Amino acid sequence: MRAWQAIAYGSPVDCLKLRTLPRPIPGPGEVRVRVRAASLNPIDYKLLHGDLRRLTSLRFPVTLGFDASGIVDAVGAGSSRFAVGDNVYFRASRDTLGAFAEFSVQPEAFVALRPANLDAIGAASLPLVALTTVQGLVDRAHAEHGQRILIQAGSGGLGTFAIQYAKQLGLIVETTTSSGNADWVGALGADRVISYDRESVAARGPIYDIVLDSLGGEHTMQAFDVLKPGGVVVSVAGPPDREMARKFGRIPVARLAMWAMARKVYAAANKKHARYFRYLTESNGAQLANIAGLVELKRIHPVIDSVFEFDQALAAFDRLISGRAKGKIVLKLAD
């Protein structure tokens, strides 16, 4: 089989190679999926570039990729949730990876039946952004009907899904994007679109119950300026929270360094009596099954920026790194 493997930390053009490998064999509790489509996420580039090596390191060579959809073509001993021929989609874990390949073996707990009304490309675009949204808004923020949320970067892969899902939770949704994308993002269901090149989010004042921070840096700190007292910031790009420091700070010095990185954030949170979560998305087939139900009810739909052939992965990474994508970037494999 063919697979895109990282051979070292660095840029895609230097360190990502298309190789021929043996087909993997599923073990107990695992399934093998003949991949039909796989989508790119910012974390793919961050892993390759080495930005996350303090949290999760790569052992080279390694097949990259988290999101994929395809057809089950083999099951391991004791696997009973799926049968050969099932159309499925999955989000691999940081330990398994392997979506950017013609075949991928994953624990069946990471896999769900793909939404019946989607093709492989649409299904592959959903897993990571869907799980990130659910695990941020439901599992951590405990979002409630009628609350007001600010979703940063509404035209990105995460933002386009989070806007739709937040509306399903009954939230009042505001989001940021450029003025050129404002009407397009508004059509996803946002109640208010803030064009950052024409108006300041800060001018809205402290009106949000929840801020979904996908930008990090100064944007994480600014989130607390617009947060109501007692609100919550859920971040996929800000400094590590204390749970993350305990989990990934394996030695005391590293743990203390992570705590120091988040000192300003916690000071801002304490001033607002607010909660702050910085988390990494975890694979969860049961949550993907729930998302599939919403998609089949046509309450949520995938947003695709562009589709590349499998052997054009380097061009797909260029598109990802450009930051101009509106929705998800997907690799298509031949039937």
Supply the pLDDT for residue 168.
98
Average pLDDT, stretch 90-107? 98
Residue of higher predicted confidence among 120 and 243 = 120
pLDDT band at 196 (very low <50, low <70, confident <90, very high): very high
Selected from 1.10.510.10, 3.40.50.280, 3.40.50.720, 3.50.50.60, the CATH number assigned to the domain covering 141-278 reads 3.40.50.720
Average pLDDT, stretch 19-45? 98
Partner residues linked to 112 by β-bridges: 89
Supply the pLDDT for residue 54.
80
User: Quick count: other Cβ atoms within 10 Å of Cβ 126?
Assistant: 28
Q: Which helix (H) or strand (E) holds 231?
A: strand 227-235
Q: DSSP characters for 169-221? A: TT-EEEEEE-GGGHHHHHTTT-SEEEETTTS-GGGG-S-EEEEEE-S-THHHH
pLDDT digits (tens, 9 = 90+) for 1-10: 999 999 999 9
Please state, in angstroms and rounded to a whole number, the distance separating the CA atoms of residues 321 and 310.
17
pLDDT digits (tens, 9 = 90+) for 320-330: 999 999 999 99
Write down the pTM of the prediction: 0.96
Strands (E), 21-147: 30-40, 62-63, 67-75, 87-91, 103-107, 111-113
Supply the pLDDT for residue 307.
98
pLDDT digits (tens, 9 = 90+) for 143-175: 999 999 999 999 999 999 999 999 999 999 999
pLDDT band at 244 (very low <50, low <70, confident <90, very high): confident
pLDDT digits (tens, 9 = 90+) for 246-298: 888 767 766 777 778 889 999 999 999 999 999 999 999 999 999 999 999 99
Please state, in angstroms and rounded to a whole number, the distance separating the CA atoms of residues 61 and 10.
13
The sign of the torsion formed by the CA atoms of 191, 197, 198, 200 equals positive
Q: Spell out the domain ranges in the chain.
A: 2-127+283-332, 141-278
Query: For the domain 2-127+283-332, what is the CATH superfamily, name and number?
Result: Medium-chain alcohol dehydrogenases, catalytic domain (3.90.180.10)
Average pLDDT, stretch 121-125? 98
* CB neighbour class for 16 (10 Å; exposed up to 12, middle 13-18, buried from 19): buried
- Please check whether the two domains, 2-127+283-332 and 141-278, share a CATH topology: no
